[in-house]
Amino acid sequence: MRYLLLLIFSIVTYGYSADTDRVDDWEYNSSIEHLDNNMPLGGSIAPRVFSKNLGFAVGGAKDTNNFIENIESGYLPRVSSITYEGQFYRHHFDIGEGGDSCRELFCPRYSTAKRLNIFSKEEEYFLSVGLSSNINEVNFRRKKLNLVIALDISGSMGANFNRYYYDTSRRRALDGERKSKIEIATESIVAMLSHLNGDDRFGVVLFDDRAYRAKPLRELKFTNRDAIKAHILALKERGGTDWSAGYREAIELFNKIEPNGEYENRIIFLTDAMPNSGELRRDRLFGLARSASDRDIHTTFIGVGVDFNSDLVEYISKVRGANYFTVNSSQEFKKLLDREFNYMVTPLVYDLKLELESRDYEIDAIYGSPEVDLASGDIMRVNTLFPSPTDERGAEGGVVLLKLKRVADGNGTVTLRVGYMDLNGSRYENVQSIKFKGDREYYDNLSIREAIAVSDFVTIIKNWLIDSRASCNDRVKGFIDTVVAVIERSSKFPPKRDIYRSVEGWERKSCKLVVSDGYRELFKLFRDHLMREMKILNGDPLKIELKILDRLIKEQ
């Protein structure tokens, strides 16, 4: 009792720090020469009040924040800033109850729908794949982490969050977030530190046109967290950007520790993704992340700033085990970490392959997987599934939607064969048959109806961005802007348009937000359709999409 009173007196009188006897192993000094960049590339979740089985969400984009931030700031977003999987992650989908009915790590839940296209009135067939699991939310535990932060400290990171760094005329930052990109990035890293446990290892790499080891990988129970946080918050921007140098140096930290299956190895790469030196070619960048993944070192990309180049990261996030987020503000990112940190660093299902066997149907489009390029008439591939939080509405982003093309008039039966691999390399297979129902329009449930509405929204928006970006960059002239012509273009699955891969760039100037007369009329028609859909769906699940349409309709 006396010892306890003395301890309380000491804490009150002198204060207390758990890090007093721990090491400050920060190595970076802004005046030091860069390290050798030619190296070869070689916790728990607290129970919630509401508990059910976790769902899954695909790797790749986990939000569409950059798309929304650009619109709110008066800029024309990049085509890649909005993805189907990113927009799905803003919604909850009913994936079934799991439990005894789901006995495997991953259980696909199929739903079907048939409708008349809202504009062409042609028949369309849809199949949703609900991403269910047998993992109870309360029992979920992530692995220990070997976590390396790779932070971009190049000159562009000193720009205001909501301004395009490469604009020739420096636009005044809008009211609201006035912090620089590097301030938001460093605050986000500090918030991340609070989610690491003592047994987690933590390291830091910094890069501009060189790379610097700022902190070696060391267990946090031996690290002075307060000192490391202070060092991180004191960082300033400088120099150019060599993306590949930073990534190689992050890999080098992993080369200095022994492999251990108890740990998940992950690089969290924070950048505005505007490299101007080093390996800019996509195959080189893709190769770095892919080679790391082959060594079970996975990557989370976090894009910072309204001018974040999502083209680059969307491409690389197709690598197994990779995902990416965009940061609107350090406060919002902290909320995301509080809710999902353990999920975002825990890939659980790899190499998911769905084969469709049917004489009557083939796959026409896939909504919700970064790997649309690997889709054929009978195969869908998803590199990675991450656990997804659930509530009474369902799982966040817990669906992939397929649009099918009818090629014959048989009995309408479709056999679906799903194979996947778990963390240990064991392979599993699930085979089910489904059948489309009759000749009339129908939806198996409200979740597939919501998924179709969201995919319609993303399709129209991406096609608007394709046309508008092309005009902004003077690459394509002479688009017909009647509402009839716009409807015909905007209904196409964007990857099937010839111009889809033409609108690109690394260091990019801003394009002013512009909505043509034809697209404004289309947005009005589509808004009316979404309003009708929302009256049928429970609650107000399409409010985000409607808010964006309202903003675009008012734009001159």
What is residue 511's three-state secondary structure?
coil
Q: What is the mean pLDDT of residues 353-358?
A: 92
Confidence of residue 167 (pLDDT cuts 50, 70, 90): low
What are the tens digits of pLDDT across the range 284-326? 767 888 899 999 999 999 988 887 777 777 777 788 999 999 8
Q: What is the mean pLDDT of residues 397-418?
A: 92
Q: Which of 340, 255, 267 is nearest to 298 (CA)?
A: 267
Confidence of residue 274 (pLDDT cuts 50, 70, 90): low
Q: What is the mean pLDDT of residues 126-139?
A: 91
Q: What is the mean pLDDT of residues 140-151?
A: 95
**Residue 4 pLDDT more than 60?**
no
Burial grade of 34 (CB within 10 A; 0-12, 13-18, 19 or more): middle
**CA–CA distance, 205 with 293 (Å, rounded to integer):** 18
Dig out the tokens for 176 from the structure: 């609201």
**Residue 356 pLDDT more than 50?**
yes
Write down the pLDDT at residue 36.
Answer: 39
Residue with the larger pLDDT of the pair 482 and 500: 482
What is residue 10's three-state secondary structure?
helix
| CATH number of the 92-138+348-433 domain | 2.60.40
| CATH number of the 144-344 domain | 3.40.50.410
Number of Cβ atoms within 10 Å of the Cβ of 479: 16
Number of Cβ atoms within 10 Å of the Cβ of 452: 21
Confidence of residue 39 (pLDDT cuts 50, 70, 90): very low
Residue with the larger pLDDT of the pair 36 and 73: 73
**Residue 173 pLDDT more than 50?**
no
Q: Output DSSP code: residue 322.
A: -
Residue with the larger pLDDT of the pair 537 and 286: 537
8 A C-beta contact, residue 327 and residue 302: yes
**CA–CA distance, 80 with 69 (Å, rounded to integer):** 14
Residue with the larger pLDDT of the pair 542 and 20: 542
**Residue 171 pLDDT more than 80?**
no
**Residue 61 pLDDT more than 50?**
yes
* Residues paired with residue 429 on neighbouring β-strands, in sequence order: 419
Q: What is the mean pLDDT of residues 408-423?
A: 91
**Residue 1 pLDDT more than 80?**
no
Number of Cβ atoms within 10 Å of the Cβ of 388: 26
What are the residue boundaries of the structural domains of the chain, listed by start?
Answer: 92-138+348-433, 144-344, 447-554
DSSP output for 10-69: HHHHH---TTTTSB------TTSPPP----------PPPSS--EEEEEESEE---HHHHH
Confidence of residue 506 (pLDDT cuts 50, 70, 90): very low
**CA–CA distance, 377 with 30 (Å, rounded to integer):** 54
Q: What is the mean pLDDT of residues 364-374?
A: 81
In degrees to the nearest 10, what's the CA dihedral of 394, 399, 401, 402?
-130
Dig out the tokens for 68 from the structure: 């929304």
8 A C-beta contact, residue 263 and residue 144: yes
Write down the pLDDT at residue 15.
Answer: 40
Confidence of residue 172 (pLDDT cuts 50, 70, 90): very low
